[in-house]
Amino acid sequence: MTNVLITGSNGQLGSELKALASHYAQYNFIFTDVYDLDICNHEAVADFITENQIQVIINCAAYTAVDKAETQEDIANAINHLAVKNFAQLAKVHGITLIHVSTDYVFDGTNHKPYIETDTPNPQSVYGRTKLAGEQAIQHINPANTLIIRTSWVYSSFGNNFVKTMLRLGKERDALSVVADQVGTPTYAADLAQAILTILPNINNEAVKILHYSNKGVCSWYDFAKTIFALENMVVKVTPIESSQYPTPAKRPFYSVLNNKAIIETYGLKIPYWRDSLLDCLVKIRTF
Ligand SMILES: NC(=O)C1=CN([C@@H]2O[C@H](COP(=O)(O)OP(=O)(O)OC[C@H]3O[C@@H](n4cnc5c(N)ncnc54)[C@H](OP(=O)(O)O)[C@@H]3O)[C@@H](O)[C@H]2O)C=CC1
Ligand SMILES: Cc1cn([C@H]2C[C@H](O)[C@@H](COP(=O)(O)OP(=O)(O)O[C@H]3O[C@@H](C)C(=O)[C@@H](O)[C@H]3O)O2)c(=O)[nH]c1=O
């Protein structure tokens, strides 16, 4: 059995991995979150890895509060950068396979075609900068069998996300305004979790590899909100607005669509269209 450490396992991605774990008997998953393993405690992480003979780390822990990060840079940096650097060092020393998850927010959003892995990052927010610093630390240390998977606009029936925010606001109000000039791709965390577990046995790379994974298709946050209400048969008037009409502490990229060609071709993945996955997730939320 392969011992697999999952960090941040009460978050969206970690919870989806937990939901799939029983289908993967070849792995001994060890699910942790900040209360049992704080990834900022580098010594505790090193001890945990040795004591549990960890062979694979899937790092789902992160500081993901994009606006709050603007005033909590030290904490965001400790989680998204310094802890990740520690994982890379431990992966190198112990020959551990490392899967780390990063974000479309490392890009500035000035592209007019989907971002490929070699496009130059230029984050516009503290969250994006700290996530990029984590990526760069991994690349600098360069442990073998390490993947950085960038994803975008993640939602799930678990945890907090845009879908749940819309469902809540849609029940409280008749009308909402949602930005229509930020374009990207929603990603169902269940699909990403499935992709990670499909890829895992096939990881075999000397140098660190960055790969992009999102669901298929493109939309704005406005389209996303409209689709959520349409699929839920909720009558909510949604007005499209510009980002300037919805001021936030952190700047978001206007365009952050990820090109998934490399991950599809390398690992033979089939990626669902975002609306189909959204419906799956909404059906699941309904049953809660
Ligand atoms: N959410 C999104 O839209 C996107 C996410 N990503 C990336 O995907 C990955 C997974 O994201 P997602 O599942 O949405 O994230 P979540 O915010 O849902 O989950 C992150 C988890 O990490 C935990 N955590 C925070 N600090 C620590 C710590 N010091 N030690 C251990 N655990 C900690 C959090 O606990 P607590 O809640 O108590 O803080 C939470 O349970 C992250 O790397 C994220 O940057 C990329 C693109 C989009
Ligand atoms: C709630 C709400 C948001 N918005 C806007 C604000 C913002 O521009 C956009 C998305 O809002 P959120 O703050 O929910 O999403 P945000 O936190 O920006 O989501 C990001 O999270 C991090 C972790 C990532 O890595 C990214 O890929 C991305 O998913 O929608 C509205 O226009 N109207 C609304 O009523």
pLDDT digits (tens, 9 = 90+) for 26-81: 999 999 999 999 999 999 999 999 999 999 999 999 999 999 999 999 999 999 99
Q: Is the CB of 41 under 6 A from ligand 1?
A: no
pTM above threshold 0.95: yes
Mean pLDDT of the chain: 97
**C-alpha 11 to ligand 1 mean position (Å):** 5
pLDDT at 288 over 90: no
Spatial separation of the C-alpha atoms in residues 247 and 135, rounded to whole Å: 28
CATH topology of domain 2-161+185-216+256-272: Rossmann fold (3.40.50)
Strand 219-220 to 183-184 pairing: antiparallel
Which are the contacts of 37, defined by CB distance < 8 A and separation ≥ 6?
5, 7, 44, 45, 48
Q: Which amino acid is at 232?
A: E
pLDDT band at 287 (very low <50, low <70, confident <90, very high): confident
ipTM greater than cut 0.90 = yes
Judged against a pLDDT cut of 80, whether residue 90 lies above it is answered with yes
Region 211-233: mean pLDDT is 98
Q: Which of 97, 52, 100 is nearest to 80 (CA)?
A: 100
Dist. CA 151 → ligand 1 center (Å):
12
Average pLDDT over residues 133-137: 98
pLDDT over threshold 80, residue 126: yes
179 in ligand 2 pocket by Cβ < 6 Å?
yes
Of 12, 60, 66, best ligand 2 pocket probe by most atoms within 8 Å of the beta carbon: 66
**Model pLDDT, residue 67:** 98
Ligand 1 atom showing the smallest separation from residue 39 Cα: 30
Spell out the domain ranges in the chain: 2-161+185-216+256-272
pLDDT at 60: 98
Nearest atom, ligand 2, residue 64 CA: 23
